[in-house]
Amino acid sequence: MNMLIDSHAHIQLDRFDADREAVLERAQEAGVHAILVIGFDLETSRRAIALAEKHERQISATNKKNKRWENLPPQIYATVGMHPHDAKDLDDETICIFRDLAAHPKVLALGEMGLDYYRNLSPRPIQKEAFERQLDLAEELALPIVIHNREAYHDILPILRARRGKVRGVMHCFSGDVEIMHQSLALGFYIGIGGPVTYRKSAALQEVARKVPADALVVETDCPWLTPQFQRGRRNEPAYVRATAEKIAELRGISLEKIGEMTTRNFEELFITP
Ligand code: NI
């Protein structure tokens, strides 16, 4: 049985309301034993926590020790944070609310946060301010972070470099080249690879998937978006993280089981056992 973790999913959204239980069953059948549900504003952060509470999974000590998750639905965890699109909504009060929400035992990280220079839905200086404030909170709470980037690594990397050793986390849906991968690794960040690695025109990302060190890779869906090639055009869901993991296994010339072991260990090292 494979073990996979979807390290970035948005199954708290309305688009999953009609069939969320079936989605979780398919995830379990695909070998997904944990899902990190990512908030991107107050509402989706609260809903991520509510979902994690609702699906609290009981694990016996023996099962945990032997890492036997087969007959169990996926464990659900949450993050809380403000996406750069909504950076303009991050004020003192919102930071206080995020601080309170982050105290919940199922909250493993802050984010997604970062910079988005593709859509620029908030002005760039406002995006940077919101990013810095959430980084301050991550330092204060000693929580890892989930970074959203679009066409902004040239600004994100220096901001993280200025906090080297003080913040850690994952470059979610990594879209840079091998050079940016090395710069991210040097800052202690993990590389999150999702559905785009299965697309035909993604040579640079496939190169990253081949070269990323075994101790720095995590896999994700970013569902409902970024559906892997085999279902492209349809809604993405956590079960499809398996297609991404299979593609990476093929690119690296190793088994899916090995990818599952690596990425589960990395997820646990980053988010569960700091
Ligand atoms: Ni996302």
Measure the CA–CA gap between 47 and 20, rounded to whole angstroms. 13
Q: Which domain does 92 fall in, by range?
A: 4-272
The predicted-structure confidence for 153-193, as pLDDT tens digits, reads as follows 999 999 999 999 999 999 999 999 999 999 999 999 999 99
Give me the DSSP letters along 110-153. EEEEEEETTT-SS-HHHHHHHHHHHHHHHHHHT--EEEEEES-H
* Mean per-residue pLDDT, 214-238: 97
- How many domains is the chain partitioned into structurally? 1
**Distance, CA of 145 to CA of 171 (rounded, Å):** 9
pLDDT digits (tens, 9 = 90+) for 185-220: 999 999 999 999 999 999 999 999 999 999 999 999
Residue 121: predicted pLDDT: 87
Structure tokens at 22: 């079936």
Which residue in the block uniquely carries the two structure tokens 């040097």? Answer: 186
Question: Do 23 and 16 meet the contact criterion of CB atoms below 8 Å apart?
Answer: yes
37 Cα–ligand 1 center, Å: 9
Question: How many A from CA of 60 to the centre of ligand 1?
Answer: 31
Q: Is the pTM of this model over 0.85?
A: yes
Ligand 1 center from residue 222 Cα (angstroms) = 5
CATH code of residue 115: 3.20.20.140
Contact 33, 241 (CB under 8 A): no
Query: What's the 110 CA to ligand 1 centre distance in angstroms?
Result: 12
